[in-house]
Structure 1
Amino acid sequence: MTRPVVGIIGNVHLINDQYPVHAGGQMNSRAVSKVSDCVPLLIPADPGLLSVDELLDSCDGFVLTGGRPNVHPEEYGEEATAAHGAFDRARDAIVLPLVRACVERGQPFLGICRGFQEVNVAMGGTLYPEIRDLPGRNNHRMPPDGTMEEKFALRHEVTLTEGGPFARLFGSARVMTNTLHGQGIKAPGSRVVIDGYAPDGTPEAIYVRDAPGFTLSVQWHPEWNAADDPVSRPLFTAFGEACRAWAGGRKAYPLQMAG
């Protein structure tokens, strides 16, 4: 049986500070293949190479990955500052309209870290450039030192809405997650529902209200240890089920609307 195709949004990198590549983390591909049971397809996020319509026709679902560049603040009506960091305008130009098209069509996507922020901006929301600079907030960035296991270790609890889609999916309204991000949601976009928070009030889990398909997105990185983590595995499994429904010509009843 042919597996659904999941487009994994790639990021631009330089090899040896010279050779430009479109790249994606192996853990994203592994989670899509081994946990979602879908074919991972790396997408070069550049409107000069492909269009949103071509992506929608070629893939059954999308993983909106994390990445070092941030969404440009012009996309939510603010001026860029040094605190906003690096940008990738080509990715902005592909992913933001892709999110809106998927919401309208019911085509599934899973937003992760930057992807979580892209969903909010695509729906009209805004972002804080640096969470750790806000009064009462913690530093959510990746630790600068240590092994990969130490950097991706579970670092804080996320409290989810009782009876909400994430709590139903995980079987608990409190879960432990890693945290490796600098920016975060300032104002939620139209129809964006914040369904989970870190202890310091930082939004960590969202979905799009009344969307006809899977739109669950998280600020943490569930691709790490996805096959064995009790939070990551059900998230990628549910996403894979939504992609199979789409590939089979059925709009999956969205988890965020299920009773």
Structure 2
Amino acid sequence: MSRPRVGIITNQNVVDNQYRTHSGGVMNTQAVAEVSGCMPLLIPADPRFVSVEELLESFDGFVLTGGRPNVHPEEYGEAPTEAHGAFDRNRDAITLPLVRACVERGQPFLGICRGFQEVAVAMGSTLHPEIREIPGRLNHRMPPDGTIEEKFALRHKVTFTEGGVFHQLMGAQEVMTNTLHGQGVTRPGKRFRIDGYAPDETPEAAYVDGAKGFTLSVQWHPEYNAAADPVSRPLFESFGDAARAWAEGRMARPVLQSA
């Protein structure tokens, strides 16, 4: 039997200041292929080239990857400022309706970093452009210097809701994660159920309440060292199971709801 097809959302980049690309990190494709057991395929996140309807019919699940551009604040009712940084309205135009459609259909997706924020916004949440500026918050941004290993090193704890979705999945209520983000969720939408927090109360893990399928999202980057990391591996394995269930024509069983 062929592997389930997982669409990996790409980001726009410019090579040598002139050649535009849609690209995705090898870490994402490796995690999907080797840990989820699915076929990774890159999606150009631009409505000029693909439609949400086509994507839903072509793939068994989606990975909403991280990326430097932020979700445009107009998507959650706020005006853009210099602090919001760069934007990618084409990606917004694909991912936000894609998330809503997947929630409605029960089609699985995994949100990572910017993907976590996309799910949050799609479900009615708001974001703060620079979470470290809020009194009492940590600096969650990527270290400016160092090797890849140093940039993706485990930097803080995440505490899950006791008995909740992530606690059950991980088999632990407290885990260590990396952190490489600037923005953060400030006011969660009604269905965007936060299930894990950093020590400074920054939301780090969530799912869509009442969704028919797999909707787990995390603010950290589990694709790094996914096969060996005890936090990343169950996340990608369970996502792969959900994609296989969808590929076999069965609705993935709803994510367990905490009491």
TM-score with structure 1 setting the length: 0.99
Q: What whole-Å deviation, never above 9, does each CA across 1:38-93 have from its counterpart, x for those lacking one?
A: 00000000001010000000000000000000000000000000000000000000
What is the 5 A alignment of 1:100-179? 100-179=100-179
Rounded to whole Å, the distance in 2 between the matches of 1:60 and 1:47 is 20
The answer to whether the 8 A contact 1:207-1:256 is kept is no
Query: What SS does structure 2 have at the residue aligned with 1:20?
Result: strand
Q: What whole-Å deviation, never above 9, does each CA across 1:103-157 have from its counterpart, x for those lacking one?
A: 0000000000000000010011100000011100010000000000000000000
Query: What SS does structure 2 have at the residue aligned with 1:37?
Result: coil
Query: What SS does structure 2 have at the residue aligned with 1:255?
Result: coil
Q: Provide the alpha-carbon RMSD of the alignment.
A: 0.9
The answer to whether the 8 A contact 1:216-1:256 is kept is no
Residue of structure 2 equivalent to 1:212: 212
Rounded to whole Å, the distance in 2 between the matches of 1:210 and 1:60 is 20
Shift of 1:256: 3.2
Query: What SS does structure 2 have at the residue aligned with 1:34?
Result: helix
Rounded to whole Å, the distance in 1 between the matches of 2:113 and 2:27 is 14
Rounded to whole Å, the distance in 1 between the matches of 2:70 and 2:256 is 27
Shift of 1:189: 1.4
The answer to whether the 8 A contact 2:166-2:195 is kept is yes
The answer to whether the 8 A contact 1:110-1:215 is kept is yes
Q: What whole-Å deviation, never above 9, does each CA across 1:147-175 have from its counterpart, x for those lacking one?
A: 00000000000000011010111000000
Residue of structure 2 equivalent to 1:68: 68
Residue of structure 1 equivalent to 2:39: 39
Query: What SS does structure 2 have at the residue aligned with 1:118?
Result: helix
Shift of 1:252: 1.3
Shift of 1:182: 0.1
Structure 1 gap ranges (5+)? none
Residue identity in the other structure for 2:213: G
Query: What SS does structure 1 have at the residue aligned with 2:256?
Result: helix
Query: What SS does structure 1 have at the residue aligned with 2:157?
Result: strand
What is the 5 A alignment of 1:168-207? 168-207=168-207
The answer to whether the 8 A contact 1:209-1:256 is kept is no
Shift of 1:17: 1.0
Residue of structure 1 equivalent to 2:24: 24
Rounded to whole Å, the distance in 2 between the matches of 1:80 and 1:110 is 27
The answer to whether the 8 A contact 2:164-2:258 is kept is no
Q: What whole-Å deviation, never above 9, does each CA across 1:168-224 have from its counterpart, x for those lacking one?
A: 110000000000000000111121100000000000000000100000000000000
Query: What SS does structure 2 have at the residue aligned with 1:256?
Result: coil
Rounded to whole Å, the distance in 1 between the matches of 2:72 and 2:210 is 27
Rounded to whole Å, the distance in 2 between the matches of 1:89 and 1:193 is 25
Rounded to whole Å, the distance in 2 between the matches of 1:227 and 1:240 is 13
Rounded to whole Å, the distance in 1 between the matches of 2:247 and 2:72 is 33
Residue of structure 2 equivalent to 1:221: 221
Shift of 1:255: 2.4
Rounded to whole Å, the distance in 1 between the matches of 2:85 and 2:206 is 24
Rounded to whole Å, the distance in 2 between the matches of 1:123 and 1:202 is 18
Rounded to whole Å, the distance in 2 between the matches of 1:174 and 1:256 is 18
Rounded to whole Å, the distance in 2 between the matches of 1:154 and 1:137 is 17
Shift of 1:258: 8.0
Count of residues in Structure 1 that have an aligned counterpart in Structure 2: 259
Rounded to whole Å, the distance in 1 between the matches of 2:58 and 2:237 is 21
Query: What SS does structure 2 have at the residue aligned with 1:31?
Result: helix
Residue identity in the other structure for 1:65: T
Rounded to whole Å, the distance in 2 between the matches of 1:95 and 1:244 is 21
Residue of structure 2 equivalent to 1:48: 48
Residue identity in the other structure for 2:116: F
Residue identity in the other structure for 2:41: L
TM-score with structure 2 setting the length: 0.99
Q: State the identity as a percent.
A: 73
